[in-house]
Structure 1
Amino acid sequence: MPRKLSRLTLKEQADKALREMISSYRFFPGKWINVERLAKDLGVSRTPVWQAMMDLEKEGLVEHIPKQGIRMAEMTLQMACDLYTVRGLLEGLAGRFAAENISKKTVARLESILKEQQQIVKDQDVVEYSISDFRFHGLIYDFCGNWLLKELLENIKTRSRPFVCDITPIMSGLYQDHVEAVDALKNRDPAKAERVMRRHNLRMRRRIEWTLTREERE
């Protein structure tokens, strides 16, 4: 159960809690969200939850269906392709900029995450990998040195979470991309960092395309 919220800035805290739930795969595309139950879980009235939902609707994460309620937005193949195309370009830039700005301490933190991911890949634990992946990319965003790029990427990263698919067949490849990205950052190689981050997103995009087209065939 989500932790109850304090009395300060309830709408903002409800918004943060909802985004965390999306990031942790509590809500999936098309799933209906019980606002009353959610408000009770968070220890607030429905008003701040509804206000937070309206912000998520503006971003395309949820849909308000008149006389029915709120549900997670349905995701189409075209939406997935568009999102990962843009994300790949922006993460490429973030990788390039981070290679010019990142500190040795942050590289060490990324290397620590890589050690975790190495075991996670061996265990084939998709959920743990997704959580670790979120932290990994977040660190690169933090040290890209461009506040607007970071803000755009954080928004896109959240929007990409509903595109749930089985990454088991490509998990090893995704991990190897991370290894190469850290190597590029460590060696201050902006071109390689950008190239690896773009390839990383292309790998994920192709997996999602395969998943969604298979579902359509079935």
Structure 2
Amino acid sequence: MSKLPRIKTKESLAEKTYRILKQAILELDFKPNQPLLEEELAEQLGVSRTPIRAALSKLAFENLVKIIPGKGTYVADLSYKDMIDTFNVREVMEGLAAKLAAESVKQGELRKLESVLNSQKQLTEQDPLDIRKFTALDNEFHYLISEMSGNEILKEQILRLKEKFNRYVVSHKTLLIEREKPVIEEHYRVLNAIKNKDANEAEQAMRKHIIYIKQALEENMNLEKK
């Protein structure tokens, strides 16, 4: 089992435990279907089993772990169907977020979005690509657009879906290296549509971006099966 940092701060133990375990799952430090033993986790984090149980319950609610009565707790699998379902919902939700963002864009928000995208573009000029930083900026770009939509429920759901999606990206790192430049181009199309307050174009550009990533990931997974 991956080594975890011991908890020393006064932050809520359950919350910090949840955050650490969630990060380990999203970054695939804990592999799909890996058993998670309460006693082991408690020892590594230096906490009792109570915050471990609370954290695992929360992660189960988010479908990141499976709690099987009488058998134990396991990291959720990365199924093909789950991936497709995630993409289909992301396409609709993020398309709507981009549309709403274009309808009510503010200059301050636009500058922040441009700054994030410019930083992401600069990363593509480095060799090798820093995948962790690239992914973090990609997350921020999508998160900012969901925030600009002004719809809190939409923002919350997009964040959760993006986190699930990142597990697939981490497990197929070559996909990012192959698509780093197309991703930037697609992001700029979304940005320009929002800047021009073209709501329909912003929605379509975002939906196409999500579709292209889905298609690339499907191709990548099919190649790995051969």
The TM-score by the shorter chain falls in which range?
0.7 to 0.9
CA contact (8 A) 1:99 1:189 kept: yes
Residue 135 of structure 2: aligned partner = 130
* 2:169 aligned with 1:156: no
Q: Structure 1: which 4+ aligned runs deviate by more than 6 Å?
A: none
- Number of corresponding residues: 217
Residue 74 of structure 1: aligned partner = 77
TM-score, normalised relative to structure 2: 0.84
* 2:53 aligned with 1:50: yes
CA contact (8 A) 2:101 2:194 kept: yes
2:195 to 176, 186, 190: 186
Report the Cα offset of residue 144 of structure 1.
0.8
CA contact (8 A) 1:5 1:44 kept: no
Question: Equivalent residue of 2:82, what SS?
Answer: helix
Deviates more, 1:152-161 or 1:21-30: 21-30
- Residue identity matched to 2:85: D
Calculate the aligned-residue CA RMSD, in Å.
2.3
In structure 2, runs of 5+ residues without a counterpart are none
Residue 168 of structure 1: aligned partner = 177
In structure 1, runs of 5+ residues without a counterpart are none
2:145 to 140, 148, 160: 140
* 2:17 aligned with 1:14: yes
Q: Distance in 2 between matches of 1:85 and 1:55?
A: 24
Report the Cα offset of residue 145 of structure 1.
1.1
Deviates more, 1:182-191 or 1:59-68: 59-68
Cα 1:20/1:91, change in 2 over 3 Å: same
Cα 1:94/1:138, change in 2 over 3 Å: same
- Report percent identity of matched pairs: 31
Q: Distance in 2 between matches of 1:99 and 1:206?
A: 26
